[in-house]
Structure 1
Amino acid sequence: MPIHCLQKLATLDVSNNFFQGHIPVEIGTYLPGLMHLNLSRNAFNGSIPSSFADMKMLKSLDISYNQLTSAIPERMAMGCFTLEILALSNNSLQGHIFSKKFNLTNLKRLQLDGNKFIGEIPESLSKCYLLGGLYLSDNHLSGKIPRWLGSLLALQDIIMPNNNLEGPIPNEFCQLNCQKVLDLSNNNLSYNRLQGSIPNWIDRLPQISYLLLANNYIEGEIPAQLCQLKEVRLIDLSHNNLSGHIPFCLVNTALSEGYYDAVAPTWDHASAPALSYFSPNGSPMGKEETVQFTTKNMSYYY
């Protein structure tokens, strides 16, 4: 840490190093003017310092891929009200995600995947009307998928596989006209013993790029409304009880384009490349997600 307070330092990126030990508890006091802070992919342990709340202009904070424990400090959830990107993925954070005392209403991307969070998805997130990406996979979350998620109209990615969520998929999701990815696999609802038929209202989700409904109990015919999903690039309906014909009109979707350019090459998780969440000027970059796709009884990861 610097000897004196650095008021004018706006960006600090020390990611992908071999830093160990605790993140200094007074970091917010010494660097109060930070707007972008990236400490990801190190070996920091201990708790998240509550002094992050002293960074009153902080827009992006990435401390993912470390060995942090404990919970998200309540003072940070109240004081970092300018935060737009919060990436805490792949640590060992515990407890409930947020308490009722919550003021991060400017969040655009929340990445909490790969931790040990418990309890329900907190209702405090219903205030985040700018939220475009919600990543909660690989935790121990339980309860129902909240209906108020359908009122967050900026949502594009809802990624929540590998939890203990249950109950129905809310009809309110049909209001999310910007939605591109919805992954609820490996819960108690999807991959997941889904029954019935593919709903005719599926065309009300025009931004869907990947539709993966494999390994369920879906029956009936494949609806022609799938042809209205002009952006869809992968459809996996394998291992169900479908009957009838494949709609010929699917050639009018992105499925007919050169798929070698549409998807990334395959890799296994052990050799997956490091992802960067911030460009040099601090603006957010896309977060890659791996999807499993089955064809001719062979499963591939894209």
Structure 2
Amino acid sequence: MKQAFFVLIVFMLSGPLVRANVSSQEKKVLIDLYTSTKGAQWKVTWDLNTPVSKWYGVRVENGKIVSLNLFNNNLQGILPTSLGNLPFLEELNLAFNTLHGQIPETITKLRKLKVLRLGKNKLEGEIPEDIGNLDRLAIMDMFDNGLSGNLPASIGKMKDLKMLYLSYNSFSGKIPMELGNLESLERLELADNEIEGEVPNGMAELLNLKAMTLAENNLSGSFPELIFSMPKLQLLQMQNNNFEDVTATGIRQGHTQLALLDIDEEADRYKINDFKDLFIHSATGTADTKFEDDSN
């Protein structure tokens, strides 16, 4: 009898938590997104008369929205400023849609966010200056948009960041020295922008980096020699820039883990290891390896 009473108490305490409804504030954010991106025309739309937990791409835990994944779902329009009112959100994936306009500043309020995917849209303007407030972020994907301006130095505060995809935009200015603080970074893609100046020497401190693509920019000066011998670097693309001289002495001496180096002169294209783990990614046009995040 005592055991049955204990089970009843546990159910009474935990039941409301499990069945808790999403707050009106969080639900309003989703309705704002639905309205501003022509939700009725999505590939998989929402029935707004059903519980939020049943809406496509929405994951709810204990009454809190923790994931919003509408990848390749025909979203058209702008991102609402209310998007920042999802304080428990850990994943936001709106990649491969037709979103335009600017990334709202309020997105920097999503302090629990670990995955941010906005790639392959038509977004414009600058990355919010305080994007570094998202210091739990592991993946930041904004490739193939119309983004411009300088890369925010605050990105350097993202100590958990592993994947940074910013290729195929119109970013200008210099590579922030603060990127050298990204000690967890495994992949850095900045190709096909208008970035200028020298590559900071501190980039050679990214000891976990496996791939760096800097091709098709306006980078100049001497390329940091130490980058060629970074312990985990397998892929380096730096062609079509304005570097003064790339000697790659460390490579010629065999002091490298590189599988693929691509620079301007044909003589400096090396096949050091075999290419069984390398292929060209059809969406980005850059070389990928098996360590690429492929959650979608």
Q: Distance in 2 between matches of 1:44 and 1:101?
A: 23
Give SS of 1:11's match.
strand
Deviation at 1:114, TM superposition (A): 0.6
Q: Distance in 2 between matches of 1:214 and 1:57?
A: 41
1:284–1:57: structure 2 CA closer, same or farther, 3 Å change rule? Answer: farther
Paired position in structure 1 for 2:293: 285
- 2:120 equivalent among 60, 65, 68: 65
Q: Distance in 1 between matches of 2:292 and 2:263?
A: 30
| TM-score (structure 2 length as normaliser) | 0.69
Paired position in structure 1 for 2:25: 4
Give SS of 1:172's match.
helix
What do the CA deviations read for 1:246-274 (whole angstroms, capped 9, x no partner)? xxxxxxxxxxxxxxx6655x8xx9xx369
Matches within 5 A, 1:25-174: 25-29=81-85, 31-75=86-130, 77-99=131-153, 103-174=157-228
1:213–1:53: structure 2 CA closer, same or farther, 3 Å change rule? Answer: closer
| TM-score (structure 1 length as normaliser) | 0.68
Q: Distance in 1 between matches of 2:82 and 2:143?
A: 23
- The number of residue pairs the alignment matches comes to 234
Q: Distance in 2 between matches of 1:46 and 1:108?
A: 27
Q: Distance in 2 between matches of 1:95 and 1:148?
A: 22
- 2:260 equivalent among 207, 210, 216: 210
Is the CA contact (8 Å cut-off) linking 2:115 and 2:139 kept in structure 1?
A: yes
Q: Distance in 2 between matches of 1:273 and 1:164?
A: 23
Is the CA contact (8 Å cut-off) linking 1:148 and 1:172 kept in structure 2?
A: no
Deviation at 1:217, TM superposition (A): 6.7
- 2:76 equivalent among 20, 32, 42: 20
Deviation at 1:195, TM superposition (A): 7.1
Is the CA contact (8 Å cut-off) linking 1:157 and 1:180 kept in structure 2?
A: yes
Q: Distance in 2 between matches of 1:169 and 1:19?
A: 41
Q: Distance in 2 between matches of 1:117 and 1:126?
A: 18
Q: Distance in 1 between matches of 2:246 and 2:208?
A: 29
RMSD of aligned C-alpha atoms? 3.3
1:204–1:62: structure 2 CA closer, same or farther, 3 Å change rule? Answer: same
Is the CA contact (8 Å cut-off) linking 2:197 and 2:218 kept in structure 1?
A: yes
Identity over aligned pairs, percent = 27
Give SS of 2:254's match.
helix
Deviation at 1:211, TM superposition (A): 3.8
Q: Please tell me the residue identity of whatever aligns with 1:233.
A: D
Q: Distance in 2 between matches of 1:137 and 1:32?
A: 32
Is the CA contact (8 Å cut-off) linking 2:133 and 2:154 kept in structure 1?
A: no
Is the CA contact (8 Å cut-off) linking 1:47 and 1:69 kept in structure 2?
A: yes
Larger radius of gyration: 2
Q: Please tell me the residue identity of whatever aligns with 2:265.
A: N
Deviation at 1:95, TM superposition (A): 0.6
Q: Distance in 1 between matches of 2:284 and 2:226?
A: 35
1:159–1:24: structure 2 CA closer, same or farther, 3 Å change rule? Answer: same
Is the CA contact (8 Å cut-off) linking 1:151 and 1:175 kept in structure 2?
A: no
Give SS of 1:10's match.
strand
What are the ranges of 5 or more consecutive residues in structure 2 without an aligned counterpart? 1-21, 28-62, 286-290
Matches within 5 A, 1:171-186: 171-186=225-240
Q: Distance in 1 between matches of 2:153 and 2:261?
A: 34
Q: Distance in 2 between matches of 1:214 and 1:53?
A: 38
1:34–1:216: structure 2 CA closer, same or farther, 3 Å change rule? Answer: same
Deviation at 1:20, TM superposition (A): 1.1
